[in-house]
Structure 1
Amino acid sequence: MSGDNSSAERLKIILGVDYGTTFTDSSAETAEFDDPSLLDAAGSALFHIPQGKNAQMVCQDFLTEVYRFVVNNLKMRITPEVFEMTPMECYLTVPAIWTDKARTATFEAAKAAGFGSRPIDTIRIISEPEAAAVAALRKDLRAGSVNAVKTGDNVLILDCGGGTVDITTYTIRKIFPSIEFDEICIGIGGKCGSTYIDRNFIKLMTERFGSAFENVPLKRRGPGSEFMASFEKAKQSFGTSENESFEIHPIDMQGNLQQEHYDPDEAAVILSKRDMERVFDPVVRDVLNLLSRQVERISHKKGKRINTVVLVGGFGNSDYLKRKLDSWCAINRIKCLRLEGTMPRTLICRRHYGLEGGLPFRPGIDDEKHAFELWGKTYCSGRIDWLIQKGEELSDSTYKKTRWNRTWSADRPYVFTDYLYSCNLDSAPERYDETGISCLGTITTDFTNVDMSTFQQRTVPGGVEYKLEYEMGIDFRSDEGVLRCFCLADGKTIGVTTISFTDLVT
């Protein structure tokens, strides 16, 4: 292995990053199919963040140890000398329903943990369904395979993980010499992954045994305990056989407990097949409802029919889920596969994005109280210039820009602040203060090293004013997988422009 940058000699690392959507991204927009018990679990021992830390810090701590492990193992395998000259590409996969704030926080946590710290290394954030599509189309659905797709096929990726379920759909554009595929429409998802089953199980234990269960020390019945590890094994085996009962142990409970539910000699909880169905079925039902909604949406709005459903993710390994999914697909005449990179050519924007500022005033439409003058023209304050629409295609080179004017004088700061907004509604309102619009954060542009004399100027009482005319732009599909912004004047990048996601997010 040499030290050049050929793609065949780059180290590729793919990490699935899902640290509990409730903590890392409380603003994820999907709510209808979220596990209702998340509200009770948040802040409890089930979802506890150490004192003095936030979710991003915990994520960084975890990734720091992952980075050390990866680097040490690579050095042992390919020698330290070869490792130091070999570029490493790191792909961090996150739930598709996560907002840009959460994606950026994960990206920053990975950088702080060490990933991308060498000049030759790169980091990219991609959605879990996107990564699953890459894996499926490269291996299981490639030309010549048993389940090969053909041009024009529509493939739905059903990514069932621990915390979230994400659904995305793709149309196969080309299969030779390499596969190209585009996203069909906006994906959907919910916080209804397999940990929802764990919380249903805890709820069942509490209802069935009451204080006898609750009085057991948390370390013996909570996350990470042998008891929950035993339930995890039962969870994985459910559906693989016709077992009528499952023993979950060890847990020593005191009291007059029914023998059909608890064996004191073995310190084991006894679950019937019906009990397992009780904790599984609400989750499976939400998954199938999400699936039905997406298939119907594609049929009605796009006039397309899904040919294949590809089941991926940790929860996707559940035979019980697979059997239920097989039945649903058989009724709907859809092929169902379970998976035991090429990237999409195009994706679909999940929300509207825009900048708040002064747009040209429209007499008879805009309220006069919002009108203001700037260099001989009348503008309207508070309106949002929507750079990209929800449902719009995102290609590898998708970036949007808008004309920006502002007045500046030498007694004012060189750093300018603007606000970035988003909207999940199908039709975005015009003004920033209307219902359904969220402020993602701030865009800061630093003109400290820009030659202001190149802009138009005029003499006014007290000195000279400059008319700064430039373009504000946002790259919606950057190499890193997070939003990137820039500032242009006469087609050239000027200043330093950054996006900061703040607690303004709602």
Structure 2
Amino acid sequence: MQKYMDRWTVGIDFGATKTVLTYKAPGEEDIIDWNHPSHPSIIPIPSSIAYGDNGAQAWGHDIGTDMPAHRFTKLLLDDLRAFDPADQRRIKAMVGARSLDLPPGTNCTIVVGHYLRQLRQTFEEAMRVQWHLPCLPPFDWWFTLPVNWSFEAEINMRTAVEAAGFYERPVDTVHFLSEAEAAMAFVASHQPGIQQVGETVMVSDNGGHRHLSWLMGVGPLAVRQLTMVTGIMGGGIAIDLNLYDYLVKNIRMPIPRVDTVIRAKKQFIDPEMPIFVGNAINRIVEIIVQSITAQLIQVGERKLPPICILVLVGGLSRSCYIRDRITQHIQQLDHEIETIVGKDPILAVGRGATLRGVAGITPQVYDSLHHYALAVPTRGADNDQAYASSRHPVITPGRRYVSGQRGSFVAEMRFDERDVVRLGVLRWTDEPGAGWIAEFTCDLSEINLSYLNCSRTRGVTIYRLDIQVQWEIVVTIRRALRWVVRAHGIEVARKIHPIEGLRPVQD
């Protein structure tokens, strides 16, 4: 059992409707798809959570039919605006009244954090039992992020992951990568040689919530995204809503439940499927093709290498009918593009996340066009209302950085007890052009000011407080700086914000 105490790699694809967790145990050859112990034959796991009257939580497969489940919580991190109020009402009627809702007194990061904590704890306990582990080994956790998420959504997801306890053990590491990178890692592993250096590959992610398309360039060591994402706010859910409308209007079901809709949708694998099912699907296929066509146009406009492969991933890509329709359209547009579908496309991104972690690819190195520094307030002895500040450099042009790189420093902060204490992030290219690009407020409510060194000037008390500042460079879909500020062991500020001018170094 000693070999199983080495590092494990775990990939998690938290989806709008389903969640996939895959892992690689030390000494094992294959990536393993994990399924919930109570439903060992069913993969993936529903992305749902329910709360009992006493605060007890049920999640995934364990939610009983009599328990109102909170579904589509991932959408609340960023995408609730994707559904207009009418669509939200239809989804609630079809799936459940608490879909797209949160319990009172919570927010999206709390609820998603509860779900991910249940996922983590259940997985860890299952591994301990299945592999007869005396204690938990160190884990490298790899989470996927949608390529078109806003910066705020990425922050929300990171906050939920932290709330779920993935950072609690110092021996564990947490990583984030785009769903695009994960999909490409999966294809490269399962069909080696299909991607050649210098080629352009299109990825079409047809999920439960939406369809997205983008282009990836194949480099000698890694792939990179070449174009902006095109797509629609729809996918499997959009098909369900189309079927819902038909069942209500033509079959006069007062409240068609999701199982009725799913039974109708399953007929899309039948060549003799009802016309209304085909119509519901064809509307989405047509929009998917429009999105793919937009990517083909970008190839010509940007003079990129021709697309050689179209990779289909996501749960909707399991449909033979949808795959055939997309392939037919692509062949009409460009007969040299080969369509590739994994063995089980709904698992592709989750497996790719684990593969990316196992590969141990050398981290991308970056340099910066700009200087970045933290400005710490230092009220002067003359008690001027305008703050002076000390400048603490963090990023400097000419140096090399990698995602996850961290640093720390100690600074003295001087302030008046009446002040709102703010720290500022500075950016500049050449002196004296330093600009204040972000700020965050320090919450000193838990700091006992009576224990601080202070001085009395013109009837005003100026306090001195040493703060410990930790910073981290974060590169996933975007580039960002994360800050955590502590004083007397108490966290007084936390901030993450985007940065510009961080460029990959081409060796």
Q: Please, what TM-score do these two structures have when normalized by structure 2?
A: 0.60
Match of 2:257 in 1: 222
| Alpha-carbon distance, 1:336 to partner | 1.1
Confirm or deny that 1:107 pairs with 2:104.
no
Q: 1:60-459 maps to which residues of 2 (within 5 A)?
A: 60-81=113-134, 84-140=135-191, 142-143=192-193, 148-174=194-220, 179-209=221-251, 212-214=252-254, 218=255, 221-223=256-258, 225=259, 227-235=260-268, 237-238=269-270, 242-243=271-272, 245=273, 272=274, 274-330=275-331, 331-332=333-334, 333-340=336-343, 341-342=355-356, 396-397=402-403, 409-411=415-417, 413=419, 415-416=421-422, 443-444=440-441
Shift of 1:199: 0.7
Indicate the residue corresponding to 1:15 in structure 2: 13
Deviation at 1:294, TM superposition (A): 2.1
Distance change >3 Å, CA 77–CA 185, structure 1 → 2: same
Change (3 A) 1:63 1:464: closer
Find the aligned partners of 1:474 and 1:302 in 2 and give their Cα distance. 36
TM-score using structure 1 length = 0.60
Secondary structure of the residue that 1:307 maps to in structure 2? strand
The question of whether the paired residues in 2 share the 8 Å contact of 1:201 and 1:279 is answered with yes
**Per-residue deviation, residues 212-245 of structure 1 (Å, max 9, x unmatched):** 311xxx4xx323x3x234234324x24xxx22x4
Match of 1:485 among 479, 482, 487: 482
- Work out whether residues 289 and 326 of structure 2, in 8 Å CA contact, stay in contact via their aligned partners in 1: yes
Q: Distance in 1 between matches of 2:143 and 2:403?
A: 21
Q: Is the 8 A contact 1:485 1:497 kept in 2?
A: no
Q: How far off its partner does 1:416 sit?
A: 1.6
1:504 maps to which residue?
none
Q: Distance in 2 between matches of 1:92 and 1:158?
A: 19
**Aligned-partner Cα distance in 1 for 2:404–2:10:** 25
Deviation at 1:314, TM superposition (A): 0.6
| Structure 1 gaps, min length 5 | 246-271, 349-353, 358-371, 377-386, 388-393, 421-429, 433-440, 450-458, 489-494, 502-506
1:499 aligned residue: 495
SS at 1:170's partner residue? strand
Structure 1 residue 130, shift from structure 2 partner:
2.3
Q: Which is greater in Rg? A: 1
Q: Deviations over 1:341-380 (max 9, x none)?
A: 33797799xxxxx99x9xxxxxxxxxxxxxx98879xxxx
Identity of counterpart residues, as a percentage? 16
In 2 relative to 1, CA 73–165 (structure 1 residues): closer, same or farther, beyond 3 Å? same
Distance 1:126 1:444, change over 3 A: farther
- CA deviations on 1:292-332 (whole Å, 9 max, x unpaired) are 11221233135332221100111111112211221122132
1:56 corresponds to: 109
Other structure's SS at 2:311 match? strand
- Asked if 2 retains the 8 angstrom alpha-carbon contact of 1:155 and 1:306, the reply is yes
Letter of the aligned partner of 1:38 in structure 2? D
1:408 and 1:15 map into 2 onto residues whose CA distance is 45
The count of aligned residue pairs is: 380
Q: Say what the alpha-carbon RMSD is for the aligned residues.
A: 5.1
